[in-house]
């Protein structure tokens, strides 16, 4: 995997008034974490999927759609005091393919959390062109106080 991508994995920013490592491009805004700049890791045309999304996945096929996806994040992460991806990149026999094994460690609403994730990415010219993001969505909902909302949505889902 190209080193320039690995070099961009963590950037120090402020969230909730404290300097903390954040996902790529995270910014500051009151007590919310933002991921607007993370889209710069992706190619203009990409294929990002979340196979374990509890309400079904919506593939993200462009940097513009990723911009929209990441712009929604602040409204879903209110109350975060700390948010830090902790993990490692595993190389594969395919020079374009990498596996990022991580956990999001942090605290929200005064409670610590640790959320396991696994991202399988294909990188060309230093940009992600394909990604499969396997994340524990129930742990995210629990950490950010949205477990009741998720349960209600799952009960209402006609599938």
pLDDT tens profile 32-74: 343 444 667 889 999 999 999 999 888 999 988 888 877 766 5
Predicted local distance difference test score (pLDDT) of residue 145: 87
pLDDT digits (tens, 9 = 90+) for 93-108: 998 999 989 898 888 8
The per-residue pLDDT of the chain, averaged, comes to 75
What's the rounded mean pLDDT across residues 1-17?
37
Q: What is the pTM assigned to this prediction? A: 0.70
Instruction: Please tell me the distance from the alpha carbon of residue 149 to that of residue 159, in angstroms, as a whole number.
Output: 17
152 pLDDT band, cuts 50/70/90, is very high
Q: Tell me, what's the pLDDT at 10? A: 34
Name which residue leads in pLDDT, 33 or 147. 147
What 3-state DSSP class applies to 6?
helix
Region 109-133: what's the mean pLDDT?
91
112 vs 19, 21, 92, 117, 143, CA distance in Å? 17, 16, 33, 17, 8
Mean pLDDT of 118-138: 92
Span 124-146, mean pLDDT?
A: 91
């Amino acid at each position: 995997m190209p080193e320039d991508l690995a070099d961009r994995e963590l950037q120090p920013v402020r969230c909730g008034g404290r300097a903390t490592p954040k996902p790529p491009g995270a910014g500051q805004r009151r007590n919310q974490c933002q991921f607007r700049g993370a889209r710069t890791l992706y190619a203009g045309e990409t294929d990002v999927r979340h196979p374990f999304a509890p309400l079904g996945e919506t593939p993200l096929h462009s940097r513009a759609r990723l911009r929209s996806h990441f712009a929604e994040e602040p409204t879903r992460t209110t109350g975060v005091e700390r948010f830090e991806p902790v993990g490692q990149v595993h190389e594969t026999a395919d020079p374009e393919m990498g596996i990022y094994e991580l956990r999001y460690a942090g605290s929200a609403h005064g409670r610590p959390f640790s959320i396991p994730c696994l991202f399988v990415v294909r990188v060309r010219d230093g940009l992600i062109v394909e990604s499969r993001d396997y994340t524990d969505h129930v742990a995210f909902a629990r950490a950010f106080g949205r477990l009741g909302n998720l349960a209600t949505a799952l009960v209402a889902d006609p599938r």
